[in-house]
């Protein structure tokens, strides 16, 4: 299906609460990382990539102290690093070092079959429909790019990664700042107006709209909030060729 020049060319998706149930993240992934953080660090803490995560966590720990926080004492011992990791998780911190380390812990879980990715039932068919219509699909999540790829490649619906063109995490910027979405559009080599961002978090959508993107609030359950952004409850409600005005672009 041909695309109109002014139409949406890329559908950018959040994960938690949008493609994937929140319960899977909080009820499966996070507890798995908590249970295995220390043993993972004991086994692989000196690997170069894990050492890079530890360096990020060490710097974040110093920043917490400077800000008057009271994190667990820092040392390079696996038990101490794991204690700080759990402290960050207790605060649902969107920490790049934390998310990167979590992704590596989950990688082992997916590899052994202890973890399988969850997506809503409408996600696979929507991916196929959008791709058949000539649209690109990208992901923007606070979870690391590794964690994103693992979830979609090991999903119970099969390997969905051939349908996804790009992945972005907080290394490109915070999810509630417009500049992050400007950078994503630049990386995708499209104008922001050619991107539809779908998320369950209104503040993220506000930032994307501020960058010039089209937006849609995904409400998978519960009451519909005040309509500050166009609302969908299922990806079937996003047409194959959404035009920008339908999805809340601010002209």
pLDDT attached to residue 241: 52
Per-residue pLDDT tens for 60-114? Answer: 999 999 999 999 999 999 999 999 999 999 999 989 999 999 999 999 999 999 9
Residue-range definition of the domain harbouring residue 102: 25-112
Query: 111 is written with which tokens?
Result: 């590899």
**Structure confidence at residue 195 (pLDDT):** 97
Tens of pLDDT, residues 145-171: 999 999 999 999 999 999 999 999 999
Statement to judge: residues 178 and 204 lie in one domain = yes
Segment (H or E) for 113 = none
Is the pLDDT at 197 greater than 50, yes or no?
Answer: yes
Please check whether residues 133 and 241 belong to one and the same domain. yes
Beta bridge partners of 13: 139, 198
Which of 12, 14, 16 shows the shortest CA–CA distance to 185? 12
Is 5 contained in some domain?
no
Residue with tokens 């090991």: 154
Gyration radius (Cα) of the chain, Å: 19
pLDDT at 2: 29
Domain boundary among 50, 77, 112: 112
pLDDT at 21: 96
**What pTM was estimated for this model as a whole?**
0.86
Gap between the terminal Cα atoms of the chain: 26
Name the residue among 248, 243, 238 with its Cα closest to residue 13.
Answer: 238
pLDDT digits (tens, 9 = 90+) for 222-244: 887 777 899 999 999 997 654 44
Domain limit, last residue, from 112, 132, 165: 112
Nearest-angstrom CA–CA distance, 4 and 12: 18
**Taking Cα atoms as reference points, which of 209, 132, 164, 212 lies closest to residue 19?**
164
* Residue 3 placed within a domain: no
- Whether residue 205 has pLDDT greater than 90: yes
């Amino acid at each position: 299906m041909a695309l109109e020049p002014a139409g949406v060319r890329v559908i950018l998706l959040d994960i938690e609460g949008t493609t994937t149930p929140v319960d899977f993240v909080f009820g499966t992934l996070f507890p798995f990382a908590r249970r295995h953080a220390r043993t993972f660090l004991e086994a692989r803490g000196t690997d170069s990539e894990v050492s890079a995560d530890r360096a990020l966590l060490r710097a974040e720990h110093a920043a917490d102290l400077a800000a008057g926080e009271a994190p667990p004492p820092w040392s390079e011992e696996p038990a101490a690093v794991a204690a700080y990791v759990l402290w960050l998780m207790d605060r649902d911190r969107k920490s790049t070092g934390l998310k990167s380390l979590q992704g590596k812990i989950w990688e082992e879980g997916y590899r052994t079959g202890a973890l399988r990715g969850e997506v809503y039932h409408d996600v696979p068919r929507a991916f196929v429909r959008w791709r058949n219509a000539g649209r690109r699909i990208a992901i923007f999540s606070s979870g690391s790019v590794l964690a994103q790829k693992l979830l979609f490649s090991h999903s119970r619906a099969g390997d969905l990664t051939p349908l996804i063109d790009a992945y972005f995490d907080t290394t490109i910027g915070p999810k509630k700042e417009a500049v992050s979405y400007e950078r994503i559009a630049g990386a995708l080599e499209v104008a922001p107006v050619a991107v539809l961002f779908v998320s369950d978090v209104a503040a993220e959508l506000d930032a994307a709209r501020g960058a010039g993107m089209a937006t849609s609030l995904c409400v998978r359950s519960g009451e519909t909030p005040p309509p500050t952004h166009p609302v969908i409850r299922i990806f079937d409600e996003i047409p194959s060729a959404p035009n920008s005005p339908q999805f809340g672009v601010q002209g």
